[in-house]
Structure 1
Amino acid sequence: MPEAAVGTAADTGPAAPPPRPARRRTLLLGGGALVVAAAVVAAVLATGGSDGRHAARPSDGLRHTSVEITSAACGRGWTHPAAGKQVFDLHNDSGVAAEVYLTDPASGAVYGEVEGLAPGTARPLRVTLGNGSYAFKCVSDDADAVTGPTVRVTGGTAKGGPAAVPVTQQDLIPPTLAYQKWIGARTVELAEKTDTLRAAIDRGDLAAARKDWLTAHLVYERMGAAYGTFGDADSAINGTTAGLTGGVHDKDFAGFHRVEYGLWHGESASGLRGPAARLAKAVHELRDGWPDQRMDPADVGLRAHEILENTVQFELTGRTDYGSGTNLATARANLDGTAELLGRLRPLLKTRDVGLSGIDTWMTRAGRTLDEFDHDGHWTPLDRLTRAQREKVDADLGELVERLADVAALTDVRRTA
C-alpha cells in the first residue's frame, strides 16, 4: 500500500511546552523542621526591641525575636535564646543585600537561610531549635562573611531540625567529572542508535524505524542533566514546536520530534530522509564536540531535581507527544537519568540529612509504577490510562519531585567566606 502523505496544514501538533524553569533554591531542609524565609518582604513584623525581648505574641502564636543583619552587628538582638518552634525577624539595616544563614558555629552546618535580604527590609525565618549552639552568618555583597556571637540553647525538650554542611564548588567537581564522562559514552551510543534509525528510513522500512526511533530517543532522554551544556544542540536534537509559527510544518521544526511526527502521521520515507539526516548530523556533532565541553558543577544538584520536574510538567501532560504515545517511556528514561546522577552525588548526600533513604524508596516505587505500562517495548499511551492509573503515576512522580527538591537545595553552592 502506498504511504500516505504527511498531515494537512491544519495539523498543529501538541501544545508547545513552556520554557524550562529557571534555576532557584526552593528550601534548605525537608521534614518541616526548618524552612527558608518567605520570598516576599514582610510589610509588618511583630518584633521586640533591639535587646531581643519580644512584644505581645503575633497572630501566628509563635515566639518572635528581632535580629539585626549587618556586617558590624550580625545576629545582634538574640539575647534570650529558647528551644522550640519560633521565628527570627531578620532586619537588614545595612546599605547592601545579604544572605543570612543560621549555623552551627563549630561545624558550619546550616539550619536555615534567607536569600537576598535587601537593604532596609525585614523577612521572617521560621525554625525549630533544640539544645545546642547557634550563630547567624551574614554574607553581604562585596564583603567577607561575618559570623555573629554564639548563642547556646539549653534546658529545652524540643527536637531541633536537621542541619547540613554547605557544599562547595570543590565538592561538586569529582561527581561532575564522573557524570560528564558517562555522558560522553552516551553520546557515542546515541550516535549509533540514531544511525540505525536513519538507515531504516533510508531503506523505507518505517515499521522498523518506529522501533528504532524509540530506542534512540530514550538514550537521549537519559542524558537530561547535561542538556544545559548541549547549548543549541538540544534544540536541534530534541526541540519541539515551541516558538515556531508554522507548528509541526515549520521549516525549523527538527530533531527527534520532527521525525516522530512524520513516522506516526503517515509521512513517506522519502519525506523523512531529510529530517533523519539532519538529526543524525546534529547527534554526530554533539558526540564529536562533547570532549571539549565542561559542565558547571553548580548545576549538577539542581538537575537531579529538574529532570523529573520537567517530566511531570511536559511528559505526564502529553505536551511533548507528537504521535508515538511514548511519554511514559520517556518518563522512565528520565527516571533512569535521575538515578544515574544521584549515584554520582551519593557520597555527598549520604553525609547530609537529605532523606536519602526516602528518596531511594520513591525512586523504586516510581520505577515500578512506570514499568507496569511497558508491554515488551510497547508503552501504554497517556490517553489510555484509567483514572486510577493516571492518579498513581501523577502521585508517585509528584512525591518524588518534592523529595528531590531537597537535593537541589543542599547541593546549591553557598558562599561561606
Structure 2
Amino acid sequence: MSSPDPQRDGTPSSRLMTIALLGAGILVLAGGGAFYLASQKVARPVEAGAIAVRVGDKSCEPMDLTVPAGRSVFEIENASNRPIEWEILDGVMVVEERENIAPGFRSQLATRLKPGSYDITCGLLSNPRGKLTVIASAHSEAEKAKPPLKAFIGPLSEYKVYLVLQSGQMIQATKTLQNAIEAGDVAATKAAYGAARVAYRHVESVSGRIADIENAMDPVAAYLAGREQDPAFTGFHRIEFGLWRESSVAGLKPIADKLIADAATLRDRLKVLKFEPADLSGNSAREARRLAEGPVISGDSLYASDDLAEFAAAVDGLEKPVSLLLPLVAEASPETVKTVTDAFAATRAEIGKLGGTGTPVAYTDVPPDARKTLSASFMALADAIDRINPALGQE
C-alpha cells in the first residue's frame, strides 16, 4: 500500500503551515506598531497652561524657557525626523524626562521644579542644549517653607525635655523654700523663692495656659474678691506677700506644701502634654504679648518688686522653643531669623538698661515711660516670633 498524499487528502503541508505562521506574526507586529502609533496620536488632552516645546532637527523652540517654581506641564512635540527623548537636567542629573517620542508626535510631562537654572536636551545629543530657568513663586516659597512633619520631631522632643527639667528644678527650689520656711529663715526663703520663680518663668508660656494649675500656683490678688485675704490667694504670690509685705514666714508652710504638690502635678502634666509644631513659637508669641500688655505695664511682683529679674527669666523661656526652630526657619526665610534674633537682643537690652541683668532694681522705681518702652519691646518681640509659623508653612 502506498503512503497517503497530504495534498490529495486535504491535509496542509508543513511548508504551508510555516508560511501561515509567519504571516500571522507579521500581522501581529504590524498591529502592535499601529497601536503604538495610534496611542501616541490619540494623546491625552492637553492640560490647560501646558508649555509648548517644539524639538526640531537641530534645536528646540524656544531654546530659553522661564517658568515659576512648583508644578509645570510641558507638551513636547517632535518636529524632527528621528525619535527623541526630552530631558530636564540639573548638572549631570536627570530631573525629568520623556523617552521615545516618535517623529510628528507629542508627549506631555508634568513635574514639580524648585527655583534654579536647568538644561534641556533638544533632540540629538550633539545638538546644543536649551535653558530652563525656574523662578521663585508664592507657591514655591510656601512649599519650600513647609518642612516635613518629621523635621519637627527633634525640636518638639527637646522642648518637652526642657519643660520637664525646668519643672523639676522648680520643685527642688520650692522644696528648698519649704525647708527655709520651716527653719524660720526669711532671707534664705527669699533666695529660694527667686530661684523657684526663675524656673517657673521658663515654663510659663505653657503652664500659663493650663488654667487650674495657673490659678493654683500663680493667682493674682487683684483678681480675687477678698484680695490678699481671700482663701484662694495661694501659691507663689501668697508666699511673696508674706516674705516682703509682712517680712515673716508665719503661716507659709501649708502654702509651700501645696505649692510643691502643684509643681509636681505641673511636671506630670508637661510630660504627657501634646504639642503641635505651631505651638512651639505660637506659645512664645502669645506669652510675649501677654507680658507686654499686662505685667510689664502694671508690674507682676507687686510685693518683691523684682519684676526685671523675672522678665529676664521669661525671655529665656520664650527663646528656648524658638531657638529650636531657627535652623528650619533659616532654610525657608533667613530674614525672619534675623528679625527674631534682633528682637530678642533688643528686649534683653531694654531690660538691661533698667538694671534687670545686674544690681537689682525695684520695679516700683521704673517710671511709666520706661515701662512703656519695655512693653513696646516685648510687643515687637511677639510680632517677630509670629513670623515663624508662616515662614514654616504652619499657617
Question: Aligning the two structures, in what range does the TM-score lie when normalised by the shorter sequence?
Answer: 0.5 to 0.7
Displacement after TM superposition at 1:106 (Å): 3.8
Partner of 2:317: 337
Name which of structure 1's ranges 191-200 and 219-228 shifts more when overlaid on structure 2.
Answer: 219-228
TM-fit CA distance, 1:312: 0.9
Displacement after TM superposition at 1:412 (Å): 6.7
The whole-number CA distance in structure 2 between the counterparts of 1:391 and 1:287 is 34
- The reply to whether residue 313 of structure 1 matches residue 305 of structure 2 is no
Name the counterpart of 1:363: 344
Secondary structure at the aligned position of 1:269 is classed as: coil
Match in the other structure for 2:166: 186
Which deviates the most, 184-193 or 362-371?
A: 362-371
Equivalent AA in structure 1 for residue 265 of structure 2: E
Q: RMSD value over aligned CA atoms? A: 3.1
Which letter maps to 1:400?
A: L
Taking the aligned partners of 1:385 and 1:258, their CA distance within structure 2 comes to 24
SS in 1 for 2:165: helix
Q: In the alignment, residue 387 of structure 2 is paired with which amino acid? A: D
* Higher relative contact order structure (alpha carbons within 8 Å, sequence separation ≥ 6): 1
Query: Residues 129-171 of structure 1: CA distance to partner in whole angstroms, max 9, x if unpaired?
Result: xxxxxxxxxxxxxxxxxxxxxxxxxxxxxx9989443466554
Count the aligned residue pairs: 262
Cα 1:248–1:172 shift into 2, 3 Å? farther
Distance 1:305 1:411, change over 3 A: farther
Shift of 1:332: 0.9
Q: What 5-or-longer segments of structure 2 have no aligned partner?
A: 1-67, 73-135
Rounded Cα–Cα distance in structure 2 between residues aligned with 1:346 and 1:375: 26
Tell me which residue corresponds to 2:84.
none
Give the superposition deviation at 1:345: 1.1
**1: CA distance, partners of 2:392 / 2:290:** 19
* Long gaps (5+) in structure 1: 1-102, 108-158
Change (3 A) 1:170 1:300: same
Aligned equivalents of 1:254, 1:377: Cα separation in 2: 30
Secondary structure at the aligned position of 2:250 is classed as helix
Q: Is 1:235–2:215 an aligned residue pair?
A: yes
For 1:367 and 1:395, locate their aligned partners in 2 and report how far apart those are by CA, in whole Å.
Answer: 13
How far apart, in 1, do the equivalents of 2:277 and 2:209 lie? 11
Contact 2:336 2:391 in 1 (8 A): no
3-state SS, counterpart of residue 294 of structure 2: helix
Question: Alignment partner for residue 361 of structure 2, among 380, 383, 394?
Answer: 380
Q: Which amino acid letter does the alignment assign opposite residue 177 of structure 1?
A: S
User: Aligned pair 1:394/2:375, yes or no?
Assistant: yes
Q: Percent identity?
A: 21
- The question of whether the paired residues in 1 share the 8 Å contact of 2:297 and 2:368 is answered with no
1:193 Cα deviation from its structure 2 partner: 0.8
Q: Is the 8 A contact 2:169 2:199 kept in 1?
A: yes
> 2:241 & 2:342 partners in 1: Cα distance?
36
Distance, in Å, in 1 between the alignment partners of 2:270 and 2:336 is 34
Q: After superposition, where does 1:149-228 map in structure 2 within 5 Å?
A: 163-164=141-142, 165-166=145-146, 170-227=150-207
Amino acid at match of 1:397: F
- Deviation of the 1:381 alpha carbon: 2.7
Q: Which residue in 2 is equivalent to 1:351?
A: 331
Q: Contact between 1:169 and 1:413, CA under 8 Å: does it hold in 2?
A: no
Shift of 1:386: 4.5
Contact preservation (8 Å) 2:291, 2:375: no
Match of 1:32 in 2: none
* 1:269 matches 2:255: no
Q: TM-score, normalised by structure 1?
A: 0.56
Displacement after TM superposition at 1:284 (Å): 2.4
- 1:359–1:291 distance in 2 versus 1, CA, 3 Å: closer
Structure of larger gyration radius: 2
Q: What is the CA deviation profile of residues 39-62 of structure 1, one whole-angstrom value per residue up to 9, with x for unaligned ones?
A: xxxxxxxxxxxxxxxxxxxxxxxx
Higher helix share: 2
Whole-Å Cα distance in 2 between the matches of residues 402 and 211 of structure 1? 34
The match for 2:308 among 325, 328, 332 is: 328
Cα contact 2:308–2:361 (8 A) shared by 1: yes
2:385 alignment partner in structure 1: 404
Separation in structure 1 between the aligned mates of residue 224 and residue 148 of structure 2, nearest angstrom? 40
Cα shift at 1:262 = 1.7
The residue matched to 1:358 in structure 2 has which SS?
A: helix
Alignment check: 8 A CA contact 2:309 2:356 kept: no
Retained in 1: the 8 A contact 2:297–2:371? no
Q: What's the CA shift string for 1:361-388, capped at 9, x where partnerless?
A: 2212221321344478653233312566
**Structure 2: which amino acid aligns with 1:312?**
A
Are 1:254 and 2:234 counterparts?
yes
